[in-house]
Amino acid sequence: MTTAIIGTGGIGSAIARQLASTGETLRLSSADHESAQRLAAEIGRAAVVAVDNRDALQSADAVVLALRFAVLHGVIDEISAALTDKLVVVPSNPVGLDAQGSLLRLLPEGQSSGEVVAGWMPTEAHLAMAFGTMSADLLESSSNRSPDPAVLFYATDDDRAGEKVERLIRTAGFEPVKVGGLEQSGRLEVGGDLHDLVVGPAEAWSLIDEA
Ligand SMILES: NC(=O)c1ccc[n+]([C@@H]2O[C@H](COP(=O)([O-])OP(=O)(O)OC[C@H]3O[C@@H](n4cnc5c(N)ncnc54)[C@H](OP(=O)(O)O)[C@@H]3O)[C@@H](O)[C@H]2O)c1
């Protein structure tokens, strides 16, 4: 299967390496074309660099928008027409840096990123919030854990998105666990109770049940 990855920075490149290691074909795009080219060269034949963000979607089944929250809306508008029937995976956390370099939440308390991003998405797209729950380093060091696989949590309101994102999560070497609908995506974000956790399925389900 083919997945487009838009944004080849910290998390985009970690996701790309994980997916390519098990045979997913990738189409890469980034504001910095050279960064996408470097990543494609590192990955080898499984990855090609697209001409632009829209071109990355050509013949892709899914797209990962590995972008900072502040640029997400603009890129979704740019590629909107190409998102029909695609799985759209968003790992972005709604955070930025203030003038002092401290972490700043970009949404009001109580508003989840998933609900906000859903409002930016064309209705024909299948949205799942996933792959943003761990730092890039943890994602790479925790994949293909044995015998107890590490869990990647996801949130979606869309059953089709759920099936497709579970395939991608397994391809990346993790066990998928759904936390709930998009209104639950705040639990996955920076500051959420399920953020930066490396747990197996049994512990993951007990954390979901406890809440
Ligand atoms: N890094 C992590 O460990 C981690 C873990 C979990 C979740 N996340 C979340 O994932 C998101 C991305 O984080 P990151 O650390 O990967 O950020 P990053 O290193 O800054 O990477 C963002 C990438 O997006 C590209 N980009 C910017 N504008 C674009 C556009 N219009 N079209 C295409 N590509 C564009 C950037 O290119 P340029 O460099 O040329 O601007 C860069 O390659 C954030 O919301 C973050 O909270 C990050």
User: What pLDDT shows up at residue 209?
Assistant: 85
What pLDDT is stored for residue 99 in this prediction? 92
**26: Cα within 13 Å, side-chain hemisphere:** 35
pLDDT at 210 exceeding the cut of 90: no
pLDDT at 77: 98
Distance 61 CA to ligand 1 centre (A): 21
Query: What is residue 121's predicted lDDT score, i.e. its pLDDT?
Result: 98
Q: Is the pLDDT of residue 74 over 90?
A: yes
Statement: residue 182 has pLDDT above 80: yes
Cβ of 13 closer than 6 Å to ligand 1, yes or no, is no
Per-residue model confidence (pLDDT) at position 73? 98
Ligand 1 atom with the smallest distance to the CA of 35 is 43
| pLDDT: which is higher, 160 or 32 | 160
What's the rounded mean pLDDT across residues 108-134? 96
**Residue 4, pLDDT above cutoff 80:** yes
pLDDT value at 48 more than 90: yes
**Cβ(8) – ligand 1 distance below 6 Å:** yes
Average pLDDT of the chain is 96
Q: Give the Å distance between the CA of 210 and the centre of ligand 1.
A: 33
| pLDDT above 90 for 94 | yes
Of the residues 33, 54, 68, which should be mutated to test ligand 1's pocket, given the most ligand atoms within 8 Å of the CB?
Answer: 68
Structure confidence at residue 142 as a pLDDT band (50, 70, 90): very high
Cβ distance 169 to 130 under 8 Å?
Answer: yes
For residue 81, count other CB atoms closer than 10 A to its CB. 11
pLDDT value at 42 more than 90? yes
> Collapsing DSSP states into helix, strand and coil, what is residue 112?
coil
Residue 30 CA to ligand 1 centre (angstroms): 9
- Dist. CA 105 → ligand 1 center (Å): 16
| Burial grade of 201 (CB within 10 A; 0-12, 13-18, 19 or more) | middle
- What mean pLDDT do residues 6-21 have? 97
Confidence category of residue 122, pLDDT binned at 50, 70, 90: very high
Peptide bond into 201 cis (omega under 30): no
